[in-house]
Amino acid sequence: MEEFSVISYSFRSFYCKTYIEGKLKGLFKEFVMGTGLIPADGEVWRIRRRTIVPALHQKYVAAMISLFGQATDRLCKKLDAAASDGEDVEMESLFSRLTLDIIGKAVFNYDFDSLTNDTGIVEAVYTVLREAEDRSVSPIPFWEIPIWKDISPRQKRVSAALKLINDILDDLIAICKRMVDEEELQFHEEYVNEQDPSILHFLLASGDDVSSKQLRDDLMTMLIAGHETSAAVLTWTFYLLSKEPSVVSKLQEEVDSVLGDRFPTIGDMKKLKYATRVINESLRLYPQPPVLIRRSLENDVLGGYPIKRGEDIFISVWNLHRSPKLWDDAEKFKPERWPLDGPNPNETNQNFSYLPFGGGPRKCVGDMFASYETVVALAMLVRRFDFQIALGAPPVEMTTGATIHTTEGLKMTVTRRIKPPIVPTLEMPTLNAGASVNLSEGDALLGQKGEVSSAHS
């Protein structure tokens, strides 16, 4: 479904409970996410949403800006070594590792350290991610054949990987419970533990009364949802920038002016206006995911087509975002299409023609997290380096599943910028638990909250 009026109606009706999240994607998500926030329905979803959304408060986001900067700095060191050696780099896999390191620390205070090490847990995460991606596009649910998981080497690997991840999550939950029991901090609505500002710590400190299984499902959901999508956004952003040197120059000028040689802070986010528009435009051209699924709760008619109760409809965000009926120069990468002094584009102020984080009550609650994450990474990387498609690299083509990937990676030549700024140190300002963080609704990137995902509903 790609007709704008129909899509707009379905999302507006979604607010009125005519349409809910589609169940088809549950076929591949529930095996890894259980009853986490994305696959959950009904009362379970409402309860988990009310519990998880408060964890994404402003002080948590401020703490995450420091995390984004430190993780990106590790990537910068890796790229600096490649530039010294004259080696081309495959950026898609590096972005995937960057966002895995970030989400591990942000959600459950676990350092995957995947940018520098290949460990069993990192391989397990990618085994599960690949399986989820494959199941999302498989025409036959072969994994539902009872004997298949016992005889298929691939399914045995998936089961072993899931067990390893779940065991580690159970250990992290137990460790965090002990920390919460021993700490003397008083819980409040903007509670942050400076040693462990993770979402897991917030949930346990809040007295969230759920089973370890439910908590593990929530953590796994956030791990999957907040990892590959952000990596895909960065991959396609750098691909688009490689073809538009004038955009890169304008972007670098802003970053140099705003950041100088510092790490980004929460206060810088509303100043990095052009960097934000670059991410906005990248999400328009390469939405993650490219398709949303909704299920009808009652008989309806969409665009003249009868929709029966219980039927799923597929909403092509890709076609919506590239429709010449809705966008001037729809296929062109133009960050300037949104004024720098205007509001951050979202589904409501763009009248549902722009759905980078879905829409309705189950809109991604991680929209601000994901936006800040990608803006920080973008700003720090273009400040230090210039990026070009490597000579002899395979054509950059795409393959589509739950997100949009390249078919053969994004191989780039990375060079240090001429007269680069001083490399920032890791002497980060510590988060003051009593400090006030002021983010008004008009600030760039501050979105509406709905559901944890960048695998959006």
From 101-105, 197-201, 360-364, 376-380, the region with the lowest mean pLDDT:
360-364
From 55-59, 73-77, 422-426, the region with the lowest mean pLDDT:
422-426
Give the model's confidence band at 22: pLDDT under 50 very low, under 70 low, under 90 confident, else very high: low
What pLDDT sits at residue 425? 53
What percent of the chain is predicted at pLDDT more than 70?
84
What pLDDT sits at residue 211? 85
Report the C-alpha gap between 37 and 365 in whole angstroms.
Answer: 10
What pLDDT sits at residue 36? 75
Domains of the chain, residue spans: 4-416
- Which homologous superfamily is 4-416 in? Cytochrome P450 (1.10.630.10)
Q: Tell whether 364 is in a known binding site.
A: yes
Across the chain, which distance is largest between two alpha carbons, in Å? 64
Report the C-alpha gap between 160 and 163 in whole angstroms.
Answer: 5
From 172-176, 191-195, 439-443, the region with the lowest mean pLDDT:
439-443
Report the C-alpha gap between 241 and 377 in whole angstroms.
Answer: 14
**pLDDT tens digit string along 216-249?**
999 988 998 888 899 999 999 999 999 999 999 9
Average pLDDT of the chain, as a whole number: 85
Give the model's confidence band at 10: pLDDT under 50 very low, under 70 low, under 90 confident, else very high: low
From 30-34, 78-82, 221-225, the region with the lowest mean pLDDT:
30-34
What pLDDT sits at residue 303? 75
- 15: enclosing H helix or E strand: helix 4-15
**Is the pLDDT score of 49 beyond 80?**
yes
Contact predicate 396/293, CB 8 Å: no
**Is the pLDDT score of 32 beyond 50?**
yes
Give the model's confidence band at 46: pLDDT under 50 very low, under 70 low, under 90 confident, else very high: confident
**Is the pLDDT score of 21 beyond 70?**
no
**Is the pLDDT score of 450 beyond 70?**
no
Report the C-alpha gap between 353 and 323 in whole angstroms.
Answer: 9
Q: What is the pTM of this model?
A: 0.86
**pLDDT tens digit string along 362-406?**
788 899 999 999 999 999 999 999 999 999 999 999 998 788 999
Q: What does the block give as tokens for 157? A: 């690997």
